[in-house]
Every structure is written in C-alpha cells, then in structure tokens.
Amino acid sequence: MAEPKELPQFPEPYWRDNIDFPSFPKLEESIKADVGIVGGGIVGITAAYLLSKQNVKVALIDAGVILNGTTGHTTAKITAQHDIIYDEFIKHFGEDKTKLYFHAQMEAKAFIEKTIQELNIDCDFSEQDAVIYTNSDEYITQLENEKKAYDQLDIEGELTDSVSLQVPHKKALIMKNQAQFHPLKFLKVLAEESMKNGALIFENTTAIDVEYNKHPAIITREGHRIVCRYIIEASHFPFYDGQGFYPTRMYAERAYALAIKAKKKFPGGMYISAETPTRSLRSAMLDGEEVWIIVGEKHKTGQGKSTIEHYQALLDFAEEHLGIEEVLYRWSTQDLTTLDKLPYIGRVSEAEEAVFVATGFRKWGMSNGIVAAKILTDLISEKNSPYADLYTPSRFQADPSLRKFVRTNADVAKHLIKGKLEFTDNNIKALSADEATVTRINGKRTGVYKDKEDKYHAVDTTCTHMGCEVEWNSGERTWDCPCHGSRFSYTGEVMEGPAKRPLEQVDLEK
Ligand code: FES
C-alpha cells in the first residue's frame, strides 16, 4: 500500500482489486450462437444473463478481460440523478419522454434489487439519497429550475441550503431513494449464472468487423467467426459502425478517481457538484473500514493537462476538505457522450436489422447499462419495450445538439490539423525513466516512452482510426486520441476503440 498522501504509483481501480474473477479462454475456432455479444461490461454480462435465462444460446467475447473496462472503473452510483438534466430534457424532448427516461432508470434500480434478492448476491447494495450541491451563485438558479422539473415529473426531491457533506455549499438538490453497490460483485454472479445457463464467454478475443453471409458473423482479429442471428455491440465505442456514423455523433471524456481513507467520516448519501471541476463522492467498504471514493477532473480525451495533475487536484481537494489518512487507489475512466446526452441503444443503424448497439452513457452507465441490456433483450426477443423509441440511435434531434455537433466536429478537425503541425523538439536522450515525448524521426511524428528499465518504446503517433495525432497520458502511460477517444498502450496496442489496429511501432535503431 502507498504511503499516506502519496499517489499510488500505478493506476488500479478499487473495484477490481477486491474480487477474484475466473479467467476465460481465448476463442480459438469459429462457432455458432443465437446471439453474439461483444464486450464484457455491465451491458454485455446483463444481456447474456437475461438472454441465457430464456434459453437463447449466447457467446460473449471481450478484447481484454471481462469487467475491466468502463464498468470496472465506475463510481457505481445507481441513480436517476444524472447531473442537472431534467430541466434540459423537458425542454428538448418534452415531458412524456423525460418521464420515460426517469422511469427507465428507476426500473433499472428495481431490477438490480430484485436480482440481488433472487440470486442472493452480496454486493454492498445500499439505498442512498443522491445529491447535487453547489457553492456557486450561478448554479443556484439551475438547481431551482431542476427542482421545478422534478416536481413536474413527480420525482421525489428536496431543495435545501445545507446537507451533511462537509464541503462548502450554498444549495443542494436531493433525489430520494437512489442506491449504490459493488458492480463487480453483482456482475460476477450474473456471469456465473449465464454460464450455468449455457452462455460461452471468451477473453482476449478482439472483434474487428461484422460480415454478412446468410447470417451475420462477428469476425475476430485471428479470423475466427461467430455466426449468429443477432449481434450486440456492448464494447463501449461500437467496433462496427454499420453506417451509423458514431465517430461524428459522440465525444470521449476522461475522469479521474481516488479511493482514500479520510479523517472525516462519510455522512451518508452520494454527492456530485454542479460546477466544474466536478467532484463526485460516495463511500465504500474495504476490509470493514470506510473508504471515500472521489471522482472528478473530467476533460476531453487527449486534450487535458498532464494527467497526473488531475489526480493531484483531487488529492488537494481531499486533503483540504476531508483530511487524508491514506490514498489507497487511483484510476481513471473514459465516458462517451452523445449529441443530445441520451445514450444510443437499439439497432446500430436503420439498415441493420441484426446488429444492436449500446453506447454513450455519459458517466451514468450503471442504470443506463441495465436499461440497455433490457431494451436489447426485448428487441431480440421481439417483445415490446416501452423505452426502445426513446433511446433509438436513429433518432435525430437537431437542437440543441446541432450546436454541439458542429463544435465537436470542428474540434476533431482542429486536432487532425494541430497534431500534424505541432511537435516538441525534446531530445529523446533527455528523457528520464517513465517519461514520454513526441518528436520527429525520419520525418514521422513519433511518440517515445522510456520505461522504468530505461528501455525506449517508439510508436507512430498517427491514430489508426481516422488519422488524428495521439497525445501522451502520463497518469496511465497511454497514448490517447483527442478525436474519438481511442487509447493505445505505450507499445501501441489498442486499449480502447474505435481504433482497431495498433499504432505502428517505430524502430529507433534505423
Ligand atoms: Fe478517431 Fe483517433 S479515435 S481518429
């Protein structure tokens, strides 16, 4: 464990370290299934569970290991309080659709509770109120308007001047009867149940495309095929676009998390600040002791300051307001946001009958992940889903998303050009261990990382997705793309899509 107040040297999420997972084989041959699922996070595992319960033959693959992507790096709040959103949603989608959104989230919470009871799962579930707080006059009016939206939608809430959290605030908006849990303890049981029901799970198996013959097939990097009737893309960024144009319809943001032991006792509840830099707080247990989980400092992927500075900012916040006894874990996460802030859940595009997608949960993937698994299971089982139309990726709501659409894409264009023109002159030899730089080698923009054993790793920094230039992420030791959020290890391997091919390695000896 790290010394008090020092950041752990390597990122590792609190959730993953406390739990043993079985490992699963790599897919070594072509197989058939009714439904092929790509991605072993909350959507993929829950869909596998729901479908296998109905005797549907499921094959699930994950490019790495299951439950180690966004689901393994979450805050794990099960809440319908998704920042200040309901006032905006009513204006944009109307009251009926906004109510549907709220009810979908609350049904997800009810599903989790019911499943915990049915399967007798010990996953630290507890009911908590969710709270948005602000210390900024600018946000007080927004919280007041959000409370009016709660009233209009019959959401049980309360606007108050003071809550028990000992972080300065002038106003807070409470949403009653929300919850928190340990998602990996919950989903581990769902994965086990799915396997008992006949589901097959494969790890270290990367999907690179979908091909059609008589039936659609998932094509893996090794050239194996999973021939199936339906495909679910639960891989965070869809690996197969299906002419849905997802790179132009979503942007990626990173956020940072700490798990600490603090001098102050956690007052109960789950908190998030209205203003930026965001501070999101909840408690969890570790070996019978209370731990604070603090998340914040979001920024567009590949566009922030040095990532270690974001952790430091969280550390400073925790020290100032909570008093740190020990920093136990640090980790970061990546979230995708759609143009209108509603996730895309449904057919990947109108033309594709058999391929479904679930993506763009912003940072609210626990409830939206369950919503997605239920919608997709209903669509595949040809049952009516009350929420399918609301979430369909084929919707088009021009306003206010159009403004963001233009800005998002202008931003991509800027990074396409900016990355090509700018590079530092740093001499590779001046690098200290565990540092990286961008330089030009034989006319190519090249990223060079010097590891702890003083070994150099050089990659061509041109993202293999659509050609933007990746930037170094010092906190995670990855190359991150500012355009659509692809991330690569320092040796160039794809860690997160939409890119499918690794960065080209550069030989420094030549
Ligand atoms: Fe699209 Fe890099 S992720 S260009």
Ligand 1 centroid–CA 294 distance in Å is 29
Residue 110 pLDDT:
98
Specify the ligand 1 atom closest to the Cα of 247: 1
Ligand 1 centroid–CA 372 distance in Å is 25
The mean per-residue pLDDT over the stretch 54-65 comes to 95
Residue 474 pLDDT:
82
Ligand 1 centroid–CA 55 distance in Å is 39
Q: What distance in Å separates the CA atoms of residue 101 and residue 206, rounded to the nearest whole number?
A: 32
Q: What distance in Å separates the CA atoms of residue 342 and residue 391, rounded to the nearest whole number?
A: 7
Q: Report whether residue 463 contacts ligand 1, using a CB cutoff of 6 Å.
A: yes
Ligand 1 centroid–CA 202 distance in Å is 27
Name the nearest CA neighbour of 113 among 177, 53, 52: 177
Residue 104 pLDDT:
98
Name residue 173's beta-bridge partners. 132, 159
Q: Which residue of 461, 462, 468, 488 sits with most ligand 1 atoms within 8 Å of its CB, as the best mutation to test the pocket? A: 468
Range from 180-194, 261-275, 489-503 carrying the lowest mean pLDDT: 489-503
Domains and CATH numbers, the chain: 19-74+184-248+341-399 (3.50.50.60), 400-510 (2.102.10.10)
The mean per-residue pLDDT over the stretch 371-383 comes to 97
Q: Report whether residue 419 contacts ligand 1, using a CB cutoff of 6 Å.
A: no
For 19-33, letters b (16+ CB in 10 Å) and e give eebeebeebeeebeb
Q: Report whether residue 77 contacts ligand 1, using a CB cutoff of 6 Å.
A: no
Please, what sign has the CA dihedral across residues 69, 385, 151, 179?
A: negative
Query: In the 3-class helix/strand/coil scheme, how is 36-66 assigned residue by residue?
Result: EEECCCHHHHHHHHHHHHCCCCEEEECCCCC
Q: What is the DSSP string of 149-207?
A: HHHHTT--EEEES--S--S--SEEEEEEEEEE--HHHHHHHHHHHHHHTT-EEESS--E
- Answer whether 356's CB lies under 8 Å from 377's CB: no
DSSP at 434: T
Ligand 1 centroid–CA 403 distance in Å is 21
Ligand 1 centroid–CA 247 distance in Å is 8
Tokens of 332: 């970061």
Residue 476 pLDDT:
81
- Answer whether 298's CB lies under 8 Å from 255's CB: yes
Ligand 1 centroid–CA 146 distance in Å is 35
186 has a pLDDT exceeding 90: yes
Ligand 1 centroid–CA 478 distance in Å is 14
Q: How many CB atoms lie within 10 A of CB 123?
A: 19
Q: What distance in Å separates the CA atoms of residue 383 and residue 178, rounded to the nearest whole number?
A: 28
% pLDDT > 70, the chain: 91
> What are the angstrom distances between the C-alpha of 420 and each of 348, 438, 442, 444, 470?
32, 11, 15, 10, 10
Give the pLDDT band (50/70/90) at residue 396: low
Specify the ligand 1 atom closest to the Cα of 497: 3
Q: Which residue of 301, 303, 486, 503 sits with most ligand 1 atoms within 8 Å of its CB, as the best mutation to test the pocket? A: 486
Ligand 1 centroid–CA 117 distance in Å is 43
Q: Give the three-state DSSP class for 345.
A: strand
Task: Tell me the CA end-to-end span of the chain in Å, nearest whole number.
Answer: 42
The mean per-residue pLDDT over the stretch 71-88 comes to 89
In 3-state terms the chain splits into helix, strand, coil percentages (rounded to 5) of 30, 30, 40
Q: Report whether residue 465 contacts ligand 1, using a CB cutoff of 6 Å.
A: yes
Q: Which residue has the tokens 């209903």?
A: 378
Residue 325 pLDDT:
94
pLDDT single digits (tens) 460-485: 999 998 888 898 888 788 999 888 88
Cis peptide leading into 183, omega within 30 of 0?
Answer: no
Higher pLDDT, 7 or 390: 390
Give the pLDDT band (50/70/90) at residue 191: very high
393 has a pLDDT exceeding 70: yes
Q: Report whether residue 247 contacts ligand 1, using a CB cutoff of 6 Å.
A: yes
Give the pLDDT band (50/70/90) at residue 48: very high
Q: Report whether residue 483 contacts ligand 1, using a CB cutoff of 6 Å.
A: yes
Pairing type for strands 216-220 and 207-212 reads antiparallel
Range from 52-61, 208-217, 444-453 carrying the lowest mean pLDDT: 444-453
Contacts of 15 (CB under 8 A, 6+ apart): 72, 73, 74, 76, 182, 183, 184
Model-level pTM?
A: 0.85
381 has a pLDDT exceeding 80: yes
Q: What distance in Å separates the CA atoms of residue 70 and residue 365, rounded to the nearest whole number?
A: 8
Ligand 1 centroid–CA 284 distance in Å is 35
Ligand 1 centroid–CA 137 distance in Å is 38
Give the pLDDT band (50/70/90) at residue 53: very high
% pLDDT > 90, the chain: 63
Q: What distance in Å separates the CA atoms of residue 271 and residue 131, rounded to the nearest whole number?
A: 5
Q: Which residue of 471, 481, 496 sits with most ligand 1 atoms within 8 Å of its CB, as the best mutation to test the pocket? A: 481
pLDDT single digits (tens) 151-163: 999 999 999 999 9
Residue 427 pLDDT:
64
The mean per-residue pLDDT over the stretch 333-361 comes to 93
398 has a pLDDT exceeding 50: no
What is the residue with the minimal CA distance to atom 3 of ligand 1?
Answer: 484
Q: Report whether residue 487 contacts ligand 1, using a CB cutoff of 6 Å.
A: no
How buried is 122 (Cβ within 10 angstroms: 0-12 exposed, 13-18 middle, 19+ buried)? exposed
Tokens of 510: 């030549």
Mean pLDDT of the chain: 88
Residue 414 pLDDT:
55
Specify the ligand 1 atom closest to the Cα of 463: 2
Specify the ligand 1 atom closest to the Cα of 486: 3
Residue 507 pLDDT:
82
Specify the ligand 1 atom closest to the Cα of 481: 2
Residue 267 pLDDT:
94
What is the residue with the minimal CA distance to atom 1 of ligand 1?
Answer: 484
Q: What is the DSSP string of 225-274?
A: EEE-SEEEE-SSS-S--TT--GGGTEEEEEEEEEEEEESSPP-SSEEEES
Give the pLDDT band (50/70/90) at residue 423: very low
33 has a pLDDT exceeding 70: yes
How many Cα atoms are found within 13 Å in the side-chain-facing hemisphere of 115? 23
The mean per-residue pLDDT over the stretch 369-394 comes to 96
Q: Report whether residue 498 contacts ligand 1, using a CB cutoff of 6 Å.
A: yes
Q: Report whether residue 468 contacts ligand 1, using a CB cutoff of 6 Å.
A: yes
Ligand 1 centroid–CA 33 distance in Å is 31
274 has a pLDDT exceeding 70: yes
| Encoded amino acid at 158, one letter | E
What is the residue with the minimal CA distance to atom 4 of ligand 1?
Answer: 466
Cis peptide leading into 11, omega within 30 of 0?
Answer: no
Give the pLDDT band (50/70/90) at residue 403: very low
Q: Report whether residue 494 contacts ligand 1, using a CB cutoff of 6 Å.
A: no
Q: What distance in Å separates the CA atoms of residue 483 and residue 213, rounded to the nearest whole number?
A: 33
Residue 419 pLDDT:
45
Specify the ligand 1 atom closest to the Cα of 467: 4
Ligand 1 centroid–CA 467 distance in Å is 6
Tokens of 419: 């990355």
Give the pLDDT band (50/70/90) at residue 320: very high
Q: Report whether residue 484 contacts ligand 1, using a CB cutoff of 6 Å.
A: yes
- Answer whether 64's CB lies under 8 Å from 203's CB: yes
The mean per-residue pLDDT over the stretch 293-310 comes to 82
Please, what sign has the CA dihedral across residues 134, 138, 144, 146?
A: negative
pLDDT single digits (tens) 132-181: 999 999 899 999 999 999 999 999 999 999 999 999 999 999 999 999 99
Residue 406 pLDDT:
42
Cα-to-chain-centroid distance, residue 56: 27
